[in-house]
């Protein structure tokens, strides 16, 4: 296999596999937050920023995969 082709396959695999876990995790975080807001709509102002922070932290493993992908592709 050529090096160039192997690079593209590696980049695709890295971000594709790396996005699975955080995708599920963020879905869980959002669903729980929405559930909580549904139960107690007055608390939405407090829940929403916390949800964003939690989601951004959950996202970080996907971002590591993304950084690896970008390094493979562009560096």
Partner 1 sequence: MRLDISLAPETLFHIGSLAISNSFFWLIVVSVFLLVGTFFLNRSLKMRPGKIQNIVEMLLAGAYDFVETTVGDKKVARRSFPLVFTLFFFVLFSNLMTFIPGQAAVTIQTADGVVPLFRAIIADYGLVFMMTMLSVLITQIVAIYVTGPFKYIGRFLNFSSPLNFFLGLMDLIGEVAKIMSLSFRLFGNIFAGEVLGAVMLFLFPFFLPLPFAFLGLLTAVVQAFVFAVLTLVFISMAATVTEAEVESAK
How many residues sit in the footprint of partner 1 (CB under 8 A)? 15
Positions in 26-65 near partner 1 (CB under 8 A): 49, 52-53, 56-57, 59-60, 63-64
DSSP three-state, residue 20:
helix
Answer whether 69's CB lies under 8 Å from 14's CB: yes
Smallest gap from Cβ 21 to partner 1, in A, equals 15
What is d(CA 29, CA 2) in angstroms, rounded to the nearest whole number?
Answer: 41
**8 in contact with partner 1 (CB under 8 A):** no
Q: Report which DSSP code applies to 41.
A: G
Segment lying near partner 1 (by CB under 8 A), choices 3-11, 16-24, 28-36, 67-75: 67-75
């Amino acid at each position: 296999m050529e090096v160039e082709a192997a690079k593209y396959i590696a980049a695709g695999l890295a971000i594709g596999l790396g996005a699975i876990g955080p995708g599920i995790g963020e879905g869980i975080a959002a669903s729980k937050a929405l559930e909580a807001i549904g139960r107690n709509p007055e608390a939405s102002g407090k829940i929403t920023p916390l949800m964003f922070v939690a989601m951004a932290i959950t996202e970080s493993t996907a971002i590591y995969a993304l950084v690896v992908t970008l390094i493979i592709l562009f560096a």
